[in-house]
């Protein structure tokens, strides 16, 4: 499969969009048409009977661009991914930025903890590629605001590590008009989640993470399944496909919820990972997951997965 290069024109357009957004202050974003790609994906997300598979790209297109960067997000939008997973951290001066790690050591030219740095000090360092080398042109750690503006109406967003900053994230998504596009997941008990959601009139989408083999997760899963209103989706993780795991998946689907699975590494999916699909057979990995009922799949190879799903008529 050919590697896609990030078009210079798209990069310029993205930078211009971010610049214009920064100049607009706190004013509301311009109105968009009623129908857009994000709305189309949301219709599938909220329809338990839909066979459309929602492809979630892990940290954007990190194989070709720095992870959690604006070009990495733009690239997966161009591919046709349905949701981009991004990670957030907060700076010393309370700016939410995109970073998987709590330090900038691995992904930038600098070192140190994000919580100890101001946003301006972070901007003195450059992002590096996922493979350790400088990318070739200057990229900085983006803010969550910048990322959401790029994603607005175009792709759904999963903010990982976002529950700890729920109020701050919600305030920002409400300001930008993207709350309905943003999903946060976590391993919190039902009562805690319900209490948090009850604090606000509008809320982000929420999804529980369940590992059936984890004893602490079993009572939590039972609480969510027994809740009066079905959950939007469940993320099910497993290192070995046991009858217990299969039963949990069946109960998720029977409850009217979507099933989210990860193909990132073997410990999350019993060996049904992207690398196995890439090196052996996509049908033996993605096909099995789809046959299990998964309609939300997080991947490190979004282009490869989308190509497979299109061949099965399960993606646009």
Question: What percentage of residues in the chain have a pLDDT greater than 90?
Answer: 85
What confidence score (pLDDT) does residue 3 get? Answer: 38
pLDDT of residue 112: 98
What local confidence, expressed as pLDDT, does residue 129 receive?
Answer: 78
* Residue 31 pLDDT > 90: no
- Mean pLDDT of all residues in the chain? 90
Assess contact for 27 and 86: CB atoms under 8 A.
Answer: no
Instruction: Pull the structure tokens for residue 244.
Output: 């217990």
Spatial CB neighbours of 1, under 8 Å, sequence gap ≥ 6: 303, 304, 307
The mean per-residue pLDDT over the stretch 199-216 comes to: 97
- The predicted structure's pLDDT at residue 136: 66
H helix or E strand, kind and range, residue 193: helix 190-197
Overall average pLDDT of the 78-100 stretch: 98
What are the CA-CA distances from residue 267 to residues 164, 171, 239 (Å)?
A: 25, 35, 5
- pLDDT digit string, tens, across residues 222-250: 999 999 999 999 999 999 999 999 999 99
The verdict on pTM exceeding 0.85 is yes
Confidence of residue 137 (pLDDT cuts 50, 70, 90): confident
- Reply yes or no on whether the pLDDT at 6 is more than 80: no
pLDDT at 287 over 60: yes
pLDDT band of 22, cuts 50, 70, 90? very low
């Amino acid at each position: 499969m050919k590697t896609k290069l990030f078009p210079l024109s798209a990069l310029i357009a993205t930078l211009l969009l971010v610049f214009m957004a920064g100049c607009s202050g706190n004013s509301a974003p311009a109105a968009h048409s009623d129908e857009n790609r994000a709305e189309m994906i949301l219709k599938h997300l909220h329809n338990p009977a839909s066979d459309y598979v929602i492809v979630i790209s892990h940290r954007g297109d990190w194989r070709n661009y720095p992870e959690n960067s604006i070009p990495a997000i733009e690239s997966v939008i161009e591919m046709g991914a349905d949701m981009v997973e991004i990670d957030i951290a907060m700076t010393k001066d309370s700016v939410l930025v995109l970073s998987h790690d709590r330090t900038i050591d691995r992904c930038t030219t600098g070192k140190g903890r994000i919580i100890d740095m101001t946003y301006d000090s972070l901007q003195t360092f450059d992002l590096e590629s996922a493979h350790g080398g400088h990318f070739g042109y200057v990229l900085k750690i983006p803010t969550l605001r910048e990322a959401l503006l790029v994603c607005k109406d175009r792709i759904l967003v999963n903010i990982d590590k976002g529950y700890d900053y729920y109020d701050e994230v919600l305030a920002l998504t409400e300001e930008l008009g993207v709350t309905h596009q943003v999903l946060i997941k976590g391993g919190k008990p039902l009562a805690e989640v319900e209490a948090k959601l009850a604090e606000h009139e509008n809320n982000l989408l929420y999804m529980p993470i369940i590992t059936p083999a984890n004893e602490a997760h079993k009572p939590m899963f039972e609480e969510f399944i027994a809740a009066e209103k079905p959950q939007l989706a469940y993320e099910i993780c497993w290192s070995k496909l046991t009858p217990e795991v299969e039963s949990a998946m069946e109960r998720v689907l029977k409850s009217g919820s979507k099933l989210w699975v990860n193909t990132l590494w073997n410990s999350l999916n019993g060996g049904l990972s992207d690398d196995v699909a890439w090196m052996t057979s996509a049908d033996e990995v993605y096909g099995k997951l789809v046959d299990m009922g998964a309609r939300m799949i997080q991947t490190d190879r979004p282009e490869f997965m989308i190509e497979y799903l299109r061949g099965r008529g399960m993606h646009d």
